[in-house]
Amino acid sequence: MTDGPASSTEGQTLRIATRDSPLALWQANHVAGLLREAHPGLRVELVEVKTTGDRNRVDPLPTMARALEDGTPGGGANGVGLFTKEVQRAVLDGRADVAVHSLKDLPTGPVPGLTLAAVPKRASRWDALVLPDGAGAGSLDDLPEGATVGTGSPRRRAQLLRLRPDLSFAEARGNVETRLAKLDAGDFHALILAEAGLDRLGLSGRISKRLDTEILPAVGQGALGIECRADDPAVDLLAPLNHLIARAEADAERACLHRLGAGCHAPVGVRGRGENPNAIELTAALLSLDGETCLQANATGPDARAVGVAVAESLLERGGSALL
């Protein structure tokens, strides 16, 4: 970070590392706006980065994760940071001061030298059913027998199969606009996308149904994670952006996934919620890939991370390891 006067942020420049997709750029610019609002006079610049997940838009993400997981700091099983590692590296090597991630993409293991400094207020955490342009509203029940749904997520696939065992699936790689174009061209009968991403891109009108009773979301879905170097003054600049309830929910969800030894490509759905950061409830489901087996657990408490660990241990005690 470029220094200005010691008593203010006037003249200081903060560099934000981000992926270069339209959604990632929206998120980085959103954080830039929050920073300028919290620190008048602060200059903010974006540093665009290509990630492994961006460069390879062909292979299924779980396959890429398994191939790359060995030796990745903070990755852990199935959580190597396909969309985050290169962005983190830009901060670690000094090209940027801050990294903005979709929190659901950020592995739960620590990366030496970095800290998760802030989680801003959370957007919708839910998945959405998207039908071809002009189809209007609809539900999972309206899909034809044997319909093809565009999603590569094991979490989404397993929960959908539990509701509709007849469904088939196809990979849906690429940015949101690319996936929608494939849907409208007839590649799929439906897509499953994160509602927050559609909202952020001004595409809420494409949502046919919010799946808030059908599918538990991914860990951190709808939230942003802002990292910086652990010893950097940027920690203090980011503090006003931290939303205490969103952070507590995220801490519980991420602690659960970390204790399971799983990652963002595991068939795990969660929902953390709380009226205040000292009373967090977490519900989690761990499924077999075919959706036939579903273990669920729930816990509530004042310590978000302890709640997450308790839920994970309950799932493991009931045989969850066999599903991971």
CATH code of 250's domain: 3.30.160.40
Structural domain contains residue 133? yes
> Does any domain span residue 170?
yes
For residues 235 and 156, membership in a common domain is answered with no
Assess whether 117 and 162 both reside in one domain: no
Same structural domain for residues 112 and 185?
no
2 and 115 belong to one structural domain: yes
Catalytic choice (54, 97, 105, 142): 105
Confidence at residue 6, expressed as pLDDT on a 0 to 100 scale = 40
Residues 191 and 227 reside in one and the same domain? no
Q: Which domain holds residue 46?
A: 1-122+222-242
Same domain, 92 and 134: no
The answer to the question of residue 215 being in a domain is no
* 105 has catalytic annotation: yes
Q: Does 283 lie in the same domain as 233?
A: no
Residues 56 and 75 grouped into a single domain: yes
Write down the pLDDT at residue 1: 62
Q: 37 CB contacts (<8 Å, ≥6 apart)?
A: none
Low-confidence ranges of the chain (pLDDT < 50): 4-7, 56, 64-65, 68, 70-79
In terms of Cα–Cα distance, which of 314, 263, 321 is closest to 284?
Answer: 314
Does 4 reside within a domain? yes
Task: Report the CATH number that the domain containing residue 118 is assigned in CATH.
Answer: 3.40.190.10
Question: What are the tens digits of pLDDT across the range 15-29?
Answer: 999 999 999 999 999
Does a structural domain hold residue 216? no
pLDDT at residue number 62:
55
**In terms of domains, do 7 and 53 share one?**
yes
What are the CA-CA distances from residue 219 to residues 62, 103, 121, 205, 251 (Å)?
A: 16, 8, 15, 25, 10
One domain, residues 54 and 117: yes
Question: 259: closest CA among 198, 206, 309, 196?
Answer: 309
